Structure 1
Amino acid sequence: MLSEQYLMLHRKLAEGAEGTSTKVTLEVIAATLFCTERNAKLVLRKMQEKAWITWRAGRGRGNRSVLTFLANREQLLQESARQWAEKGEYKRAFELLRTYGNDIRTNESFVEWMNGHFGFCKEQEGEQSKDSLRLPIYRTIESLDPADCVYSVQSLMIEQIFDRLVNYDNETGRYLPAIAHYWESNDDGTEWTFHLRKGIVFHDGTELTADDVKYTVERLRRGKRNGWIVRELNRVDVVTPRIVRFMLNKPNRIFIRFLSAICMSIIPKHLAEPDEASYWARPMGTGPFILETWSEERLVFHANPHYYQGRPHLDTVHIVIMPEHAIHYEVSWENLLQDPDVRQADNGNDEVVTIESSEGCTSMMTWNMTKPGPHQCVLFRRAVDLVLDRQGMVRELGEHRLFPARSFIRDKRTLEYQEQYDLGLAQSLLEQSGYDGTPIIMGTIANHAKDAAWIKERCADIGIPVIIREERMDTILRPDVMKEMDCIVHALVLPGEEVCLVENYEQDSSFVKELMDPGLREWVMECIDGALASPDSKDRFGQLKKIEDRLRGEAQILFLAHTKFYAHLNASYKGIVINRLGWLDFKQIWRV
């Protein structure tokens, strides 16, 4: 792209702003542009035609030419970034900004344009006008396999493609029919039978049967991250093509809730079993959207016209995978479903409505109890706990942070939280711990970089140096990377119900599980088994609360803040719901 070549030359050869002249040889220009001298002449000629430069060739041996830069670099950089973005090359666009935009103020205007570029639009296909939604995400989607799903954006994509036997409504606590229309269990919760709907078809037109359910569930046992969910499964019986039965080794009163988890999404045996590698390159399910494109840059979904719960209102959803560092530019889906003129209006404009989810997430710092270091001393961990002024954190960092946290789940007691911030006691405990000044290595991802920086400042108040290692989500989950961290700042999307808490303690790659004191794990499993065997919801929570209380009491986990998902949207958008994952439910969205 010619504009990028101009930026390359300016960065290498110019010593000032526009109007700067420099003496240079054609050989140097060719080397700067990584091309031949002949091609360098063509590039210079094109730039002259656009009046971006003047070029006065040197005459005779040893006389250098004079190159004068005339073009507005900020304008060229922004135009180049836009051109790449419009082609879907968002990573290239932001890389341009990082490479050439450090000393010019183009980022704000580009981000404003990006927020207008995303959102709702009409796409023309022949004579048909189709409703499309384009949204950014900041994590690479490495897998769409429900059995290996570990974070919320991945779950959101999987929900578009697949369905489960039942759905769980967090608002009402009710189980809703999905693939199964009826179910029953025996008295102690060791035998569960599900009756499947007729006529549900996968995206290739093949009808779903009990064999697909059996294959899906048994596949979880093959070393998958979410294999925890079938830990006590004895066997799966196909009673008829429409009836499937689960036999458990131990009582589980909420096994139906397990079956509504994302990792229990039903996959087609006839497609996945013969060639998994080929199937997972473009997976098919029974869900509301059909995956058409999946690359490093984007996912494109089209509406499933035969979806058994009703065709989505949207025709197409474009999910754009942004470079993770671009999250710092704050291009956010929460700002996208507005017209540009509405985004510039007052907050009091009655065309803007605010929606929020009933759930949120909880941020925390989890100590790595599998790694040697000063944090192995409980006095040291309690000192760090006492130096964290959570009220101050919520006040200073703001955004979606609402309340200080002392628990995984935000409930009525959250508002009764009593701050335990005590700088003097923290200093005293630190001295008692025998701390020798060793720096703490703190891992995090871009989403929680502000929290990590805030904690680093607080630790410095009592003389604890902190080194922050910001990783991508896919790298921080790697065991070799995780074990290098003394602690990790992260967050959990935890609706207030039991299975999410069990998942938190049992799922492979869960920070809470992987960093937990190995000596606690057997006790934790006993608490979980006791909870699942109880028919009483309060008793189940009580059993699980014992685990949390111990982790908090020993300061193995330092809870930080409860956040909430919300967005300010144009009133012309209908069917907008923020789901339990903090994202939009694509199936319901439409526009007047």
Structure 2
Amino acid sequence: MDTSTAHFIHLARTFNIPFRIHEPVPVTIDSLSAALCCTPRNVKFILRRLEENAFIHWKPGRGRGHTSELTFLRGIDEAIEDNFQELMGKGKIKEAIELIGVTEANETLKERLLSSLNIQMGFHSEAETASRQDVLRMMRGRRLEKLDPAFVITAFEAYLLGQICSTLVTYDASTQTFLPGLAHTWESSEDYKIWVFFLRKSVRFHHGRVMTSRDVKETLQRLFDLNSPAIWNYEDIEHVSVEGDHCIRFHLRRPNLFFLHLFSCMHMSILPYDVDIRTELIGTGPYRISDLNEDVLVLSAFEQYYGIRPHLDRVDIWFVPDHGPNERQYELPGAYRMKLPSEGSVTNSINYPALGCKYMLVNFRKKGVHHQLAFRQALRILYNQVALVRELGGNRITPADSFLPWKSAQSDWTEPPLEQARELLASSGYQGESILLAYTVHKDLEEADWLKRRGAEIGLRIELQSYIQSHAKDALSSAELIMAEEILEDDWQWGLINYFRNKSNYLHAYLEPAQSSLLDRELEDFTLLNGEGRAELLDKVEGIIRDHCWLLYGSHVNKRAQLNHSLLGLHTSSFGFLDISKLWIKPAH
């Protein structure tokens, strides 16, 4: 907030209660001096500036100590909004975002400012830079989590890693095959116990050094040194042989038909051995980090990228905690500004279904009636997927009975009466105690409130508690039920096995050790199977979870992006995000 606006608001809060416009308010220089904590001389300077900027009209009294008249020419909301628009017009996005959170702004004004921010992020036009760079802006509704391949668990951070780093091979979802990445080819022994990767030559990291096979070996070793939650994937590796700068050989203790999946996943994003990634993320990907702070992440195209250079020169990702939009906003500075038919509308939007679904977890680490299967079966009826999609709609496109939409489509959907849930609730031993349901802030309130109302119809008392997704585990120990969402990678077999076996995720945080051990036993020989066998095994594990109601599937969702018509090259990448390395801007006519 600029100084003049701050002075205006402070004077209005102090002298104009209740607030009225164009009505003179009696004041003295001494009272103004006390309110502004400055000398009478500075008071007169401040008043002059406010009058020049049309905030007030000032009529001084005759002589020292005499009453003067101060007339406010704007409302407080108007002053804040004008300041916001001025900041956006000057490209001071950080200051504009901060203004949304000022204590003087009421909730209605904050929503209006956020709506304006959304529109301007979508369609704001800036003068082109001297270098004629194409710049894309995105908005996120939360702060960025740590970008470390060894520990990343959230979809957006994993998506960013795919833009900054590269892996030995990449998974092509359209053909369900693997394509060369940092390795131009590879081979395995007939028994799948030896895998060899041949690396591309002259691939450079963002700090300039050429990548070698030592970087690959040290990237793997780093997972073990840091005790990464991902190390279970690589425990079959007995020995790694570096055979020159461009060849690396992995010796396994048993066959592994799943090995390529493990070297295309985010955890094996190849890192330079000579850089501490905890302080600076360096990769070989199409974008490098040119700036990162709590407000913005700036990605710049890496000119020496071994693949096809991105069309966009820079991507700015702004973080707007607690007020960010659920839909993804994209701005094109320098692009032709489209005429908006009405405030709040968008020039273009696309919907793309995401692998995975919204669901509800049961916290078995806490004692209570929810340990009874009959209670969870009653919840299954309350949280009926068909009713959920029909009554709430929105981006909930189809009922979910699996993380995989094509599996859910095979289900025979029913909608049991709530009376059946009431009978199950009674048989479970429920005594009218409160059941705490945790939901993510600004995301799942509608769904949680819907379930609470349905519960009340059968006598189930559900209390709601919001939580911040990045700090969930510690905050949720008191909740019996947790609403969550899992978005899978395009490589869905990897995504599912990682979800079922990664001990750092929500599922294992709230299952009892015996339940986790059961899943581990079922999946122990997963890597020995071919693709069809792995799919059958994953289906079996989902059946165990579904039959025991450890997890209650909710709905499959659409991800929506708001776009400028000048933005072309639309391709989705893993986790349902647009692949920014393929986007390009159509010049204005």
Do both share a fold (TM > 0.5)? yes
- State the 1:330 CA deviation: 5.4
Secondary structure, counterpart of 1:214 in structure 2:
helix
**Counterparts of 2:267 and 2:101, CA distance in 1:** 35
Give the corresponding residue for 1:486. Answer: 480
Q: CA RMSD in A?
A: 3.2
Per-residue deviation, residues 512-559 of structure 1 (Å, max 9, x unmatched): 121123211222112222222112x22212222222212211111111
CA distance in 1, matches of 2:579, 2:428: 49
Residues 251, 169 of structure 1: CA spacing in aligned structure 2 closer, same or farther, 3 A cutoff?
same
Matches within 5 A, 1:183-202: 183-202=186-205
User: Counterpart in 1 of 2:264?
Assistant: 260
Segments of structure 2 that go 5 or more residues without pairing to the other structure are: none
Match of residue 405 from structure 1: 400
1:88 corresponds, among 73, 84, 93, to: 93
Counterpart of 2:133 in structure 1 is 130
Question: Is the deviation greater in 434-443 or in 216-225?
Answer: 434-443
Residue aligned with 1:100, SS = coil
TM-score, normalised with respect to structure 2: 0.88
Corresponding residue to 1:539 among 530, 533, 544: 533
Report the CA distance between 1:376 and its aligned residue. Answer: 1.9
Match of 1:75? 78
Contact 1:405 1:561 in 2 (8 A): yes
With 479-488 and 21-30 compared, the bigger mean Cα shift is at 21-30
Alignment match, 1:311? 309
Indicate yes or no: 2:150 matched with 1:147: yes
Deviation of 1:307 after TM superposition, in Å, equals 1.1
- The 5 Å alignment of 1:258-407 reads 258-271=262-275, 276=276, 279-323=277-321, 325-327=322-324, 332-333=328-329, 341=338, 344=341, 355-357=350-352, 359-407=354-402
Contact 1:52/1:71 (8 A) holds in 2:
yes
Q: Work out whether 1:461 is the aligned partner of 2:452.
A: no
- Once residues 532 and 297 of structure 1 are traced to their aligned partners in structure 2, the CA distance between those partners, rounded to angstroms, is 42
Query: Which of 215, 229, 234 in structure 1 is aligned with 2:238?
Result: 234
Q: Does the Cα contact within 8 Å between 2:467 and 2:475 map onto a contact in 1? A: no
Does structure 2 retain, via aligned residues, the 8 Å contact 1:565–1:578? Answer: no
Corresponding position: 1:578 with 2:572: yes
2:122, 2:330 within 8 Å by CA — same for their partners in 1? Answer: no
Task: Give the distance between the partners of 1:113 and 1:313, measured in 2 at CA.
Answer: 26
> Aligned partners of 1:143, 1:229: CA distance in 2, in Å?
21
After TM superposition, the structure 1 stretch with the greater mean CA deviation from structure 2, 41-50 or 538-547, is: 41-50
Percent identity, aligned pairs only, is: 27
- Do the aligned residues in 2 keep the contact of 1:360 with 1:564 (CA within 8 Å)? no
Contact 1:123 1:131 in 2 (8 A): no
Q: Distance in 2 between matches of 1:132 and 1:384?
A: 48
The 1:129–1:297 alpha-carbon spacing in structure 2 relative to 1, beyond 3 Å, is: same
Deviation per residue, 1:190-240 (Å, 9 max, x gap): 322111111111112211111000110111112223333324333322122
Instruction: Give CA-to-partner distance per residue, 1:45-90, whole Å, 9 cap, x none.
Output: 3223333224566789998765432214333222222345532315
For 1:102, the aligned partner's letter is E
Relative to structure 2, which stretch is displaced further, 391-400 or 496-505? Answer: 391-400
- Kindly indicate whether residue 518 of structure 2 is the aligned counterpart of residue 523 of structure 1: yes
CA, structure 1 residues 47+512, in 2 after alignment: closer, same or farther (shift >3 Å)? same
**How far does residue 387 in structure 1 lie from its aligned partner after superposition?**
1.2
The one-letter amino acid paired with 1:201 is R
**Greater shift in the superposed pair: 417-426 or 176-185:** 417-426
Deviation at 1:499, TM superposition (A): 1.1
CA deviation after TM superposition for structure 1 residue 465, in Å: 2.9
Equivalenced residues, count:
576
CA distance in 1, matches of 2:471, 2:463: 17
Name 2:508's counterpart in structure 1: 513
TM-aligned CA distance change 1:342 to 1:71, over 3 Å: closer
| Match of residue 553 from structure 1 | 547
In structure 1, runs of 5+ residues without a counterpart are: none
SS in 1 for 2:153: coil
